[in-house]
A and B are shown apart, each in its own frame.
Chain A
Amino acid sequence: MSDWFEPLPAEEKNSEFIAMQSKTFLQEAWERFKKNKMAVAGLIVLLIFTLLAIFGPFFSPYDYDAQDTSNAYAAFSAQHLLGTDKFGRDVFVRLCYGARISLLIGFGAALINSFTGVIIGGLCGYIGGKFDTIVMRIVDIIYAMPSMLYVILIMMVNGANVRSILIGVCIPGWIGMARQVRGQIIGLKEQEFALAALVLGASDKRILFKHLIINAIGPIIVQMTLLVPSAIFTEAFLSFIGIGISAPMASWGSMAQDARQVITLHPVQMLLPTLCICLTIFSLNFLGEGIGDALNPKKK
């Protein structure tokens, strides 16, 4: 029996030992994010749009409002990468300017709305009682009005520009986030780790921000990635019905509006801006999902 087994050489003793290297939270999150192919693709598309929005116009000799009526509806060419529109304006440059407006409104509104929503929702959920009841009824009143009404009213007063749209979108925009966060916090604050923090002597601020909100970060990010497209959509919609960004400034919505009359003759005019909107929103959704998963340490 004994010669069935033979001792291993000493150096092989630890050859099976697998030690995982310790990484910081962000390193691990990045690692998990990289595994999600669609999210990475979304990130790349968004980066391209952002770069084009910032630097695109510098690489083109044309201005967004430079007209050349003799060259209207030109096809794709070396002079005009993506052709020209009905006034002979360069479509590529106009798309870049449109990206500026869309991304500015989208991300600006999402940041402002998330901040307001997380703070108000967090406080309501944590404090509860009368404070919660009163704030939530005010929220109901704001929510009861059609959100488009706020945007249109603000634009009547302040003029049709990016700032008005941003303000209009941000008045009712934080409500979804606030409700979401409030619900999360109400569930989380009864958890034992919140009680443990209380027993350790943690302040309310510490419990709310370091223990509760950080545990709601997944749903917050998902909600945030829904806020970006909804703001982009609102802008595109307003421009499409003709009350958004005023001519000659270009936005994806107003370009689609211009192309509406010639959709049968020049479908490309419609296709390009809508394609931009679609790509941006798809990318944002995949990106949001990827970040949400990456920030959850329970998913390996």
Chain B
Amino acid sequence: MEEKVLEVKNLCKFFEVNRGFQGAQVVQAVNDISFDIKKGETLGLVGESGCGKSSLGRTILRIYEPTKGQILFQGEDIAGFSRRQMLPYRQKLQMIFQDPYASLNPRFTVGEIIGEPMDIHNILTPSQREKRVQELLETVGLKPDHIRRYPHEFSGGQRQRIGIARTLALNPEFIVCDEPISALDVSIQAQVINLLEKIQKERGISYLFIAHDLGMVKHISHRIGVMYLGHMMEMGMANDVYKKPLHPYSKALLSAEPIPDPKSARARKRILLEGEIPSPIHPPKGCPFNTRCPYAVAECFNQMPAAFRVDGRQVACYLYSPKYLRKRESLNIEPLLSKEA
């Protein structure tokens, strides 16, 4: 079995808001999420805006303090570590940010930006650092003589490459990519994705890849996780989830993806969800999707279902409990366990 780089167990992150007369209200941004990532693997995270994807990534990197749960990095639980204890792990756990215009300090030159991680961790002498920065610039496809320029002299795609070079400076083993391509031009997106894939192949880095572009997530990820209101609804191999989503929410989400072929696009049945995504301050009791789920049953309104194993994936939906096997078939959802079962 392959080595697990990161394992998250029952991770929760609650934010307190509106500390007013009614007392503190709590936003459950990340709620009881568990998963693991193996060496050299990419886990894609999808879900609509505000579902807690970014909060999950930031909590794993300890930008936010986890409320509950464990974050095991190479077997060590870093969830309760102090900043000093975290310092050696900062080299191994890194992040690529969404907005290349905001993630680089505008007052630093490119050399200072990429050299900063080495400065913080006291790696290499200043002259060796400059050489390393130039190597890193070449790795990400920029010219070594860009070292004295400022971020505003570069385009969005080039800036994102500078951000990637900074991330790579410490030879990380796990990178959270927080929508690294959503601020870029479509033509540039492919370049950045290819660069990320090349780096992964060469260095065996694991990614947690957060995005809303479903096609891109399927392309880069080995496995995909679908999130809704802080919960992990479904997780499985990228192709399985993409071709045959099991959870009603995954079905709706994937049916919303544009298909670049008019014929098959017309043939496809779009699942339109009724209503709005509920407020994360007052999530519905039970499964958070029960307000919009066309197949909701009585249990859905009582308790969040545990993840059921179906076809080697995990689905958090009562329709996949043994009890509802028959009902599911009568509801005429696509036959799900047809061959294997």
Tell me the A residues contacting B by CB distance below 8 Å.
Answer: 22, 25, 191-193, 195-203, 206, 211, 214-215, 217, 297-298
Contact = CB atoms under 8 A, between A and B. Distances in A.
Contact of B102 (A25, A192, A201): A192
A201 B148 contact: no
Contacts of B107: 214-215, 217, 297
Contacts of A200: 90, 94, 116-117, 120, 166, 170
Given A193-B103, A195-B63, A201 B97 contact: no
B243 to A, nearest CB: 35
B98 interface: yes
Contact of B106 (A195, A202, A215): A215
B102 A193 contact: yes
Interface centre among A202, A297, A298 (most CB of B within 10 A): A297
Contacts of B87: 201
B150 A297 contact: yes
Given A199-B93, A215-B105, A297-B106, 15 more contacts: A22-B145, A192-B98, A193-B103, A193-B106, A195-B103, A196-B95, A196-B103, A196-B166, A199-B63, A199-B90, A200-B116, A200-B170, A201-B117, A214-B105, A297-B152
B208 to A, nearest CB: 13
Q: Size range of the interface on B?
A: 20 to 34
Contacts of B117: 200-201
B135 interface: no
Contact of B97 (A196, A202, A206, A298): A196
A175 B223 CA distance: 54
B99 A192 contact: yes
Nearest to A215: B107
A54 B192 CA distance: 60
Interface in B32-51: none
Interface string B142-183: 000100111010000000000100100010000000000000
Nearest to B61: A199
A192 B104 CA distance: 8
Contacts of B61: 199
B56 to A, nearest CB: 15
Interface of B: 58, 61, 63, 86-87, 90-91, 93-95, 97-99, 102-107, 109, 116-117, 120-121, 145, 148-150, 152, 163, 166, 170
A217 B61 CA distance: 30
A201 B106 contact: no
A211 B148 CA distance: 18
Nearest to B96: A196
B86 A192 contact: no
Contacts of A193: 102-106
B103 A197 contact: no
A203 B121 CA distance: 11
A211 B105 contact: yes
Nearest to A211: B105
A199 B95 CA distance: 7
A211 B105 CA distance: 7
29 contacts: A192-B98, A192-B102, A192-B103, A193-B106, A195-B63, A195-B97, A195-B103, A196-B97, A196-B104, A196-B166, A198-B63, A199-B93, A199-B94, A200-B90, A200-B94, A200-B120, A200-B166, A200-B170, A201-B87, A201-B90, A201-B91, A201-B120, A202-B116, A203-B120, A206-B120, A214-B105, A215-B107, A217-B107, A297-B152
A21 B269 CA distance: 59
Contacts of B86: 201
Contacts of A25: 109
A214 B163 CA distance: 20
B282 to A, nearest CB: 25
A159 to B, nearest CB: 45
Contacts of B116: 197, 200, 202
Contacts of B106: 193, 215, 297-298
Contacts of A22: 145, 148-149
Contacts of A203: 120
Nearest to A199: B95
Contacts of A298: 106, 152
Interface centre among B93, B95, B98, B166 (most CB of A within 10 A): B95
Nearest to A190: B102
Nearest to B112: A210
A214 B107 CA distance: 7
| Complex A-B, nearest 10 residue pairs according to Cβ-Cβ distance, in ascending order | A201-B90, A192-B103, A22-B148, A192-B102, A192-B97, A193-B105, A200-B117, A199-B95, A297-B150, A214-B107
A215 B91 CA distance: 26
Interface centre among A25, A199, A298 (most CB of B within 10 A): A199
A211 B150 CA distance: 15
